[in-house]
Amino acid sequence: MGGKENNQRTNAVELIKLQHEPQGDTLVAVRLPDLPGAIRTGYSFVALSDGRVMVLGGTDSQYLGCSPCTADTYILDTEKKSWAAGPKMTEPRANSSATLLPDGSVLVAGGWTPSHTWGGPGSRTVEHWDPIKNVFVKNAAFLPTAVAMHRALWAKGEEGKQLLLAGGNSAAVQAYEVSTGIWRLVGESNQGSEKRGVSVASVLFQNRQYLLRESGESNYSSEKGWSFIPLRMGSGPGMGGVARNFDSYSGVALYRGGLTFLPGKNDTPGLALGGSIHAGMNTYGITAAVDAIWPDGRIQALPAFNYARTGAQAFRLSDGSILLIGGQVNGQANAGDIVESASFMEWLPGNAAPQEARWQPLDAAWAQNKALGQMADGSLVAVDNSGGVSRIKFRADAQGKLQVETSKLPPLHQPRLFQDPTDLIVRGLPDGRIIVAGGEMQNKRLAVMHENSMDPNAADEYLRIGEAEPTDDYEIYEPATGQWRQSAASRADGGLLAVYDDGRVARLHAKEKERNDQGSPQEECEMEISSADGKMWSELKAAELPVICSRARMFVLQDELFVAGSHADGNLHTDIQTLQWFNSATRRWETLWQSTPQQNWRDNVGRIIIRQLANGKRVMLPVADIL
């Protein structure tokens, strides 16, 4: 169908048939009536179970995208050699995929829709054609990530059970489980493609699923040609094979920037949630991907959540359920998708098997524009820009719905301003104390005069004014007194902060030193750690400092202190990505992982490793571009 005749676009249609001749079989082309309507490209077509062919959507524009595109469908009867108008899709589409399912229905996925008129990664919407009612119905579930110009193919050995979407302008591989209607993101590479018709094939090797993919013409490609993408399908009946394994030392790279890592607890796996993948045409594909990562090096894709996002916060509640809150859901990757910002929070109940559990969107007005932290009992603490503090407790009712109970705590001594909720650290300690650190303060004040201000018993009231500046102290909530108190001031302000389980706060920052021979400013690290009660700070000596303190993040995991980021290698004129651990016994920073010189940084985006520390703890660690 389509193509060009005499260098002009055409709606021409030909049927290629096998014809039996005395001298041998041969292929013949039979010209059929042209596709009705305007001459177009970007349509999809599918053979129906009764032998007819359905053509869906497309655009008459000379450009890629939906500017405009159509929701029209047409059905070709190859025996009668005639076309008939079919039902309209729920929305116009171009460069989507259409797949015949075992029940005779047609699954239409992705492509460009009017919400994505030109460029961008496409749409996440899905719809079904019902052959009995002859209507299209929009699916409630979305694709894990937007895609267009892709291919739909059955997983090898799972025909009619697991459908894969791959290729096109996304580096992601998505799987649809026919029996449950669940979507998963099951694989990705480190580049997308700007090339139409990228070739893909499903491969089953030693009971593990792979995608054979031709790397397209992309500005982000580190390699060209063919490559295998290992898929995170399995394990269990109908899951497409055994779960994928990875070497725990080198870890696994998920190629998703800004994904959220939720550490495992007891026998539960760590979770990698959301994040964005490089897609074609200089865009990012924000995802709703969920991966379970076990300490023994197994990784398995779980059902996607509802609203694709990057940079979210995730919390594991006392009953094992998961809360996913906030993050970036808009931007170029989801431009025009009103539904993308309809839910601020999602909840995954903890009483279902991970491979079957469904995420539930929830109203979370209590969490919007607030910095969040978790207490030992699973409850959350929320702090807003005005200094207000709330305690939020959760419980599941008899109907399996999440119930939220909010109570007020005394406000902070002074508001700590933040642009992003993750800029402020809120941490509940095992002893019931709460630490609030970071943010910025307005340190100048204006006194507010009231009619009774001169009364000796009148409380003083001030209005904070002036430019906000980074803080050099933090606040501690004491449950015994029900009040907040301020810590001692550190020598420096701002920088990276992390909180130990006992209440100690580590502050790491860079100070500029003299310029090098090329005139570039050099940095050196300075670090302080407060006492557990916050009444004093101790400075670490130069020999005890990490190699990175800017373009980095510092975090505490299993009560161990880590710093991850990148630093310049003066000899190689390149950046080295590094993850270090502070060995409190030797008071030295040990390098646990480092990228190889001149390695493409995209090869390590979303990388997670497993390490056995010198003190015997086994930890699962994110090393690059992970929250």
Residues paired with 480 in a beta bridge: none
SS3 619: strand
Query: What HEC string does 314-383 produce?
Result: EEECCCCCEEEECCECCCHHHCCCHHHHCCCEEEECCCCCCCCCCCEEECCHHHCCCEEEECCCCCEEEE
Burial category of 404 from C-beta neighbours within 10 Å (exposed 0-12, middle 13-18, buried 19 and up)? middle
pLDDT of residue 605: 87
Q: What mean pLDDT value characterizes the chain? A: 87
Percent of the chain with pLDDT over 70: 88
Q: 600 or 553, which is more confident?
A: 553
Question: Which alpha helices (DSSP H) does 115-196 contain, by range?
Answer: none
The beta strand positions in 50-96, using DSSP E, are 53-56, 73-77, 82-85
pTM of the model: 0.89
**Among 532, 315, 314, CA closest to 431:** 532
Cis check for the bond before 349: say yes or no (omega within 30 of 0). no
Is the predicted pLDDT of residue 25 greater than 50, yes or no?
Answer: yes
Provide the 10 A C-beta neighbour count for residue 400. Answer: 10
pLDDT of residue 543: 82
User: For 444-462, how does the pLDDT look when each residue is reduced to its tens digit (9 = 90+)?
Assistant: 778 888 888 888 888 777 7
**In degrees, to the nearest 5, what angle opens at C-alpha 241 toward C-alphas 239 and 245?**
110
Q: 531 or 543, which is more confident?
A: 531
Buried b (16+ CB within 10 A) or exposed e, 129-157: bebeeeebeebebbbbbbbbbbbbbebbe
In contact, 503 and 435? CB cutoff 8 Å: yes
Residues 6+ apart with CB under 8 A from 311: 258, 260, 274, 326, 327, 328, 420, 422, 627
pLDDT of residue 328: 81
The beta strand positions in 6-72, using DSSP E, are 8-9, 13-19, 26-32, 44-47, 53-56
**Among 116, 89, 114, 107, CA closest to 170:** 116
SS3 542: helix
Provide the 10 A C-beta neighbour count for residue 17. Answer: 11
pLDDT of residue 613: 96
Query: What HEC string does 479-529 produce?
Result: CCCCEEEECCCCCCCCCEEEECCCCCEEEEEEEEEEECCCCCEEEEEEEEE
pLDDT of residue 155: 95
Q: 624 or 511, which is more confident?
A: 511
Q: How confident is the model at residue 474 (pLDDT cuts 50, 70, 90)?
A: very high
Q: How confident is the model at residue 176 (pLDDT cuts 50, 70, 90)?
A: very high
pLDDT of residue 562: 96
Q: How confident is the model at residue 336 (pLDDT cuts 50, 70, 90)?
A: very low
Is the predicted pLDDT of residue 366 greater than 70, yes or no?
Answer: yes
Is the predicted pLDDT of residue 219 greater than 60, yes or no?
Answer: no
* Strand duo 151-154 + 162-166: pairing: antiparallel
* Strand duo 588-594 + 574-583: pairing: antiparallel
Provide the 10 A C-beta neighbour count for residue 197. Answer: 12
Q: Look at 135-139, 186-190, 228-232, 295-299 and tell me which has the smallest mean pLDDT.
A: 186-190
In contact, 138 and 86? CB cutoff 8 Å: no
DSSP letter for each residue of 104-119: S-EEEE-SB-GGG-SS
Is the predicted pLDDT of residue 304 greater than 90, yes or no?
Answer: yes
In contact, 194 and 280? CB cutoff 8 Å: yes
Is the predicted pLDDT of residue 224 greater than 80, yes or no?
Answer: no
pLDDT of residue 331: 44
SS3 470: strand
Q: 396 or 133, which is more confident?
A: 133
Is the predicted pLDDT of residue 107 greater than 90, yes or no?
Answer: yes
Q: Mean per-residue pLDDT for 261-281?
A: 83
pLDDT of residue 9: 93
- Which helix H or strand E contains 622, and what residues bound it? strand 618-622
Q: 116 or 626, which is more confident?
A: 116
What is the residue type of 72?
D
Q: Is the C-alpha dihedral spanning 348, 123, 191, 159 positive or negative?
A: positive
Q: Which token pair is 418?
A: 């933040």
Q: Mean per-residue pLDDT for 419-425?
A: 87
What are the backbone angles phi and psi of residue 97, rounded to the nearest 5°?
Answer: -115, 150
Distance CA 207, CA 185 (A): 19
pLDDT of residue 476: 98
pLDDT of residue 339: 41
Is the predicted pLDDT of residue 334 greater than 50, yes or no?
Answer: no
Q: Which token pair is 495?
A: 């920088």
Q: How confident is the model at residue 33 (pLDDT cuts 50, 70, 90)?
A: very high
Q: Which token pair is 583?
A: 């060995």
pLDDT of residue 517: 55
Distance CA 102, CA 238 (A): 15
Distance CA 184, CA 145 (A): 10
pLDDT of residue 193: 57
What is the residue type of 432?
G
User: For 497-527, how does the pLDDT look when each residue is reduced to its tens digit (9 = 90+)?
Assistant: 999 999 999 999 987 665 555 555 566 889 9
Q: Mean per-residue pLDDT for 231-235?
A: 79
What is the residue type of 239?
M
Q: Mean per-residue pLDDT for 590-595?
A: 93
Q: 488 or 345, which is more confident?
A: 488
Distance CA 604, CA 576 (A): 11
Q: Mean per-residue pLDDT for 280-308?
A: 85
pLDDT of residue 444: 77
Is the predicted pLDDT of residue 168 greater than 70, yes or no?
Answer: yes
Percent of the chain with pLDDT over 90: 56
Distance CA 472, CA 69 (A): 56
pLDDT of residue 239: 58
Give the full edge-to-edge strand order of the sheet including 208-215: 200-205, 208-215, 225-230
What are the backbone angles phi and psi of residue 532, rounded to the nearest 5°?
Answer: -65, -30
In contact, 322 and 347? CB cutoff 8 Å: yes
pLDDT of residue 117: 64
In contact, 619 and 605? CB cutoff 8 Å: no
Is the predicted pLDDT of residue 531 greater than 50, yes or no?
Answer: yes
